[in-house]
Amino acid sequence: AAVAAPTGGKKVIANLFEWNWPSVAAECTGTLGPKGYGYVQVSPPQEHVRGNQWWVAYQPVSYRIESRKGTREQFRSMVSTCQAAGVKVIVDAVVNHMSGQTNGGTGWAGSSYQHHVYPGIYQAQDFHYCGRNGTNDIVNYLDRYEVQNCELVNLADLKTGSEYVRSRLAAYLNDLLSLGVDGFRLDASKHMPAADIADILRRLNRPAYVVQEVIHGAGEPIRPEEYTGNGDVHEFRYGKDLARVFRSERLAYLRNFGEGWGHLPSSVASVFVDNHDTQRDDGGVLTYRDRGIYALANAFMLAWPYGSPTVMSSYTITNRDAGPPSDGGNRTLNTTCYSGWECEHRWPVIANMVGFRNATEGAGVSNWYDNGYQHIAFSRTGRGFITINDEDFPITGRSYQTGLPAGRYCDVIHGTFTNGTCTGPIITVDANGWFAATVPAHDAIALHQNARL
**Which residues contact ligand ARE by CB under 6 A?**
55, 58-59, 94, 100-101, 141, 152-155, 187-188, 190, 213, 215, 217, 220, 277
Nearest to ligand ARE of 31, 279 (CB atom) = 279
How far is residue 196's CA from residue 326's CA, in Å, rounded to a whole number? 37
The bridge status of strand 365-370 relative to strand 375-380 is antiparallel
How far is residue 70's CA from residue 53's CA, in Å, rounded to a whole number? 16
Q: How many residues in the shown chain lie near Ca ion by CB under 5 A?
A: 4
Nearest to ligand ARE of 101, 389 (CB atom) = 101
Nearest to Ca ion of 56, 169 (CB atom) = 169
CB 4 within 8 A of CB 34: no
Q: In terms of Cα–Cα distance, which of 302, 299, 327, 325 is closest to 314?
A: 325
How far is residue 186's CA from residue 198's CA, in Å, rounded to a whole number? 12
CB of 96 to Ca ion, least distance (A): 5
Of 106-114, 131-139, 152-160, 414-422, which part binds Ca ion (CB under 5 A)?
152-160
The option from ligand ARE, Ca ion, none interacting with 157 (CB < 5 to 8 A, set by class) reads Ca ion
Alpha carbon of residue 383 to chain centroid: 25
CB atoms closer than 10 angstroms to residue 171: 12
Of 12-20, 110-118, 188-196, 285-293, which part binds Ca ion (CB under 5 A)?
188-196
Is residue 213 close enough to count as binding Ca ion by CB under 5 A?
Answer: no
How far is residue 224's CA from residue 209's CA, in Å, rounded to a whole number? 17
How far is residue 270's CA from residue 50's CA, in Å, rounded to a whole number? 31
Q: Which of 213, 232, 344, 370 is catalytic?
A: 213
The option from Ca ion, ligand ARE, none interacting with 94 (CB < 5 to 8 A, set by class) reads ligand ARE
Q: Which residue lies nearest ligand ARE, judged by its C-beta?
A: 100
How far is residue 216's CA from residue 416's CA, in Å, rounded to a whole number? 37
Nearest to ligand ARE of 213, 370 (CB atom) = 213
How far is residue 212's CA from residue 214's CA, in Å, rounded to a whole number? 6
Residues of this chain, 92-151, that bind Ca ion according to CB under 5 A: 96, 148
Nearest to Ca ion of 170, 359 (CB atom) = 170
Of 67-75, 91-99, 240-248, 372-380, which part binds Ca ion (CB under 5 A)?
91-99
The option from ligand ARE, Ca ion, none interacting with 213 (CB < 5 to 8 A, set by class) reads ligand ARE
The option from ligand ARE, Ca ion, none interacting with 101 (CB < 5 to 8 A, set by class) reads ligand ARE
Nearest to ligand ARE of 68, 383 (CB atom) = 68
Q: In terms of Cα–Cα distance, which of 91, 355, 45 is closest to 209?
A: 91
Q: Is 187 noted as a catalytic residue in this protein?
A: yes
Is residue 11 close enough to count as binding Ca ion by CB under 5 A?
Answer: no
Question: Which sign does the torsion angle of CA 166, 167, 169, 174 carry?
Answer: positive
Q: What is the DSSP string of 167-220?
A: HHHHHHHHHHHHTT--EEEETTGGGS-HHHHHHHHHT-SS-EEEEE-----TT-
The option from ligand ARE, Ca ion, none interacting with 73 (CB < 5 to 8 A, set by class) reads none
CB of 259 to ligand ARE, least distance (A): 21
Is residue 157 close enough to count as binding Ca ion by CB under 5 A?
Answer: yes
Burial of 440 (0-12, 13-18, 19+ CB in 10 A): middle
Looking at 10, 48, 68, 191, which residue binds Ca ion (CB under 5 A)? 191
Give me the phi and psi of 37, to 5 degrees please.
Answer: -65, 140
Alpha carbon of residue 443 to chain centroid: 24
CB of 103 to ligand ARE, least distance (A): 10
The option from Ca ion, ligand ARE, none interacting with 217 (CB < 5 to 8 A, set by class) reads ligand ARE
Q: Which of 187, 232, 241, 370 is catalytic?
A: 187
Nearest to ligand ARE of 130, 446 (CB atom) = 130
The bridge status of strand 417-418 relative to strand 421-422 is antiparallel
Angle between helices 163-178 and 194-202 (to 10 degrees): 50
The option from Ca ion, ligand ARE, none interacting with 326 (CB < 5 to 8 A, set by class) reads none
Residues ≥6 apart with Cβ < 8 Å to 338: none
Nearest to ligand ARE of 56, 444 (CB atom) = 56
Q: Is 213 noted as a catalytic residue in this protein?
A: yes
Residues annotated as part of the active site: 187, 213
Residues that bind Ca ion (CB under 5 A): 96, 148, 157, 191
